[in-house]
A and B are shown apart, each in its own frame.
Chain A
Amino acid sequence: MFKLRSLFFSSLMFILIFSATSTFGKSIPSVIKIGTLYASTGPFAKASESQFKGLKFWVHNVNSKGGVFVKAFKKKIPIKLVAYNDQSSTATAAAMYNQLITQDHANILVADFGSVLTSVAVPLAKEHRRLLFDVTGTGAKFFTPDNPYVVLTSLPTSGRWPYTLADFIIKHKINKIAIIYSSNDFDQSQAITLHNKLRKAGVDIVYYNAVPSSTSNYAVLLHSIKAKNPNAVIEFGYPNNDIAFLQNLGSSGLKFNMVFTVFPGQLFKLLKSNVGEQGLAYTYTYPTPPLLRYNKVNLGVGIDEFELAFKAYSGKSPNFLNVAGYNVGLIIKKTLETANRYNQLSFRRAIGKFSGKVFTLNGLFMVNKKGAQIGEILPIAQFVMKDSKLKMNIVYPEKMKTADAVYPAP
């Protein structure tokens, strides 16, 4: 009897010790798996690859220092990046996001570039209760009160983009406005915000029309706008729209006191090479890093240091999407450093804790309860010619201003 009892207790002890050690061993992962997608072909390839390169650069940096500090385990753990090519296809992206969640068991899920490729990740992340770090998918319908599993990191939701633009127009008493926008989620939400804010302030909107996102000729539209005699023309579009609009404007010989487009501030080199310096001169845009120089940061490095390091790493100067990809890495790092427990809802709670207190090379990181980015503001910049060279001045808001706006444009 005694023998049987001692055998029972020793077996029990063995099981307890074994299970305790095995659980302990399992609970600290040897690597933190970050799962993401990129597109090497298709309409989103250029932007997606830039964003992915920024994230890869962050992983490279972190791993060269031994990994990221995970508060839940009180130790540094290296990052393993698992990335698949979705070819810009939403159906492929859905299968690949699912692969990352169910087969690779990625601890952190990072979305591909833009709203279209992010759209399929949002319901999947919610279904599998996995926090989705949405880098540039700014579509407002992703952020709902019942979904705690999405956080937008590197751009504000598109409806917030024109806040400063509206203020600028109102403050400068520019009272006859034409708004032309491409018919897609991203541009429509900007147009609606601007339209409502200006109308509320009593500004006369003399032209307000949508055109298909595939529009590549604005010549007739520009003459229709001119016939309304506006003081400012605001064009919200994708890069191909902005390029076509500015090219047509240059060749038409038409002049407006103020012309605003979205992407020269994000993809300056692309726009400059297609439109030329003269085509951009005295137009306005939203400047983003690296055109916007945030060096006083409390997380990661400032833009000067980043630019040097990124150039040494990739051989190329960074663009905005490289910054956005790097920035999501910084937010992931801060999340892991802050979360008390190693699970998805703790990650989300941790983000809530440091939201509004973190300033990176991309600006203030602050999200609302739905996970939408509301911290970063997009100031207004104007390109001017100085000594026959194109120079960018920030003209609004006052606290960020580097020069007065040249209005009306010469």
Chain B
Amino acid sequence: MLKKRIGSFGIILIIALIFIFLPFVYNNQSFLFNMMLYIALAEGLNIIYGFTGYLPFGYVGFFGAGAYSASLAILFLHFPPLLSIFIGGAGAFLVGIILMPLLKLSGAYFAIANLAASQALYYIVANPNLESITHGPYGISLASIYNPHASYYTMLAVLVLSMIIVLFIRTSNFGLSLLAIKEDHITASLAGVNVAKARAIAWGLSAFVAGLSGACFAWYVSVFYPGTVFSLNISVIVIVFALFGGIGTIAGPLVGALILYSFYNFIGISAPEYFQLLYGILIIVLVLFLPDGITSILQKRKIYVP
């Protein structure tokens, strides 16, 4: 177990070093920021989907809640950006607690209810009657604290944190409890696992990671609209990235986001007119030939994937 933990820490360290030094070599910082953002979100989704089997189609709701919580902390409470990022995570965690009854549902019912909840949140935030609080549909401007470099490295810290959380779950008894719940929650309960508590912790951690990511995103772009941070495209992209790499591991969502986001940008830059065609073909190939993700190739050969 110790060996596996050290190996996984090695991967996290390498990723951190790459993103620390990459801006000095490749200065499209927005691309690198988005890459980190999607890896962190894919890891956050992995916590709930990869280990408990709950697919949150409305995962973007936590992301948006984080972006808005942090922004309101900056605009109204005049909190410094780093504290506000934490508030963003806490705000999403709070939303996670409010939405906890959804965990009583399962399968498609949970996915749809979660999607509806994220849309409800979007309409609440974008309500013109709440203009004095959320700025309604007219967007938020954080131009006064715009700092792309600081927000970049804060995002890196969130990425590392998300990977450490997944590492902890992957290599702890708590993770084993979650996997047992994923297989059969009644059997897990009979074996002494506190199903409700374990699921709630995973749900809250997943929401917290998405909230921190949303808060960093808000700081990085500095001007955004509700539609930007509650866009369902974000949920879809993150789910596809996690599935492409393979869920239930640290490496799967990481590899998925690294490959697919790079490919996404590569096509967008080199062959924008064929974007939909090429991206669609890639996803079809994935579904047909690698339904358990890229890392399943190694797992089938009994090679340990962190």
Judge: A and B partners, yes or no.
Answer: yes
Is residue B53 within 8 Å, beta carbon to beta carbon, of the partner chain? Answer: no
With both beta carbons as reference points, the residue of chain B lying nearest to A209 in the complex is identified as B128
Point out the residue from A91, A123, A213 that lies within 8 Å of B143, measured CB to CB. Answer: A123
The reply to whether A90 and B224 contact each other, CB–CB distance below 8 Å, is: yes
Chain B positions within 8 Å of A84 at CB level: 268-269, 272
Is residue A40 within 8 Å, beta carbon to beta carbon, of the partner chain? Answer: yes
The reply to whether A116 and B138 contact each other, CB–CB distance below 8 Å, is: no
Is residue A94 within 8 Å, beta carbon to beta carbon, of the partner chain? Answer: yes
A139 to B223, CA, bound (A): 11
The reply to whether A119 and B137 contact each other, CB–CB distance below 8 Å, is: no
A92 to B268, CA, bound (A): 9
A144 to B222, CA, bound (A): 14
Chain A positions within 8 Å of B272 at CB level: 40, 83-85
A210 to B136, CA, bound (A): 11
A237-266 at interface with B (beta carbon < 8 Å): none
Point out the residue from A94, A116, A141 that lies within 8 Å of B227, measured CB to CB. Answer: A116
Q: Which of B10-18, B29-37, B284-292, B296-304 lies at the binding interface? A: B29-37
With both beta carbons as reference points, the residue of chain B lying nearest to A93 in the complex is identified as B30
Is residue A184 within 8 Å, beta carbon to beta carbon, of the partner chain? Answer: yes
The reply to whether B221 and A94 contact each other, CB–CB distance below 8 Å, is: yes
A307 to B275, CA, bound (A): 32
Given A141-B141, A183-B128, A185-B138, decide whether A95 and B265 contact each other with a Cβ distance below 8 A: yes
Shortest CB–CB separation between residue A380 and chain B, in angstroms? 26
Please report whether the interface of chain A is mostly helix, strand, loop or mixed according to DSSP. Answer: helix
A225 to B137, CA, bound (A): 23
How extensive is the interface on chain A, given as a class?
35 or more
Chain B positions within 8 Å of A124 at CB level: 30, 148
Chain A positions within 8 Å of B231 at CB level: 89
The reply to whether B222 and A123 contact each other, CB–CB distance below 8 Å, is: yes
Chain A positions within 8 Å of B33 at CB level: 94
B221-265 at interface with A (beta carbon < 8 Å): 221-225, 227-228, 231, 233-234, 264-265
Can you list 30 A-B pairs with a CB-CB distance of less than 8 A? A41-B276, A83-B272, A85-B268, A85-B273, A87-B268, A87-B275, A91-B37, A95-B31, A96-B269, A97-B30, A99-B28, A102-B27, A103-B28, A119-B139, A119-B225, A120-B221, A122-B223, A123-B221, A123-B223, A139-B139, A141-B143, A142-B223, A144-B143, A183-B127, A184-B138, A188-B137, A188-B138, A210-B128, A212-B123, A212-B137
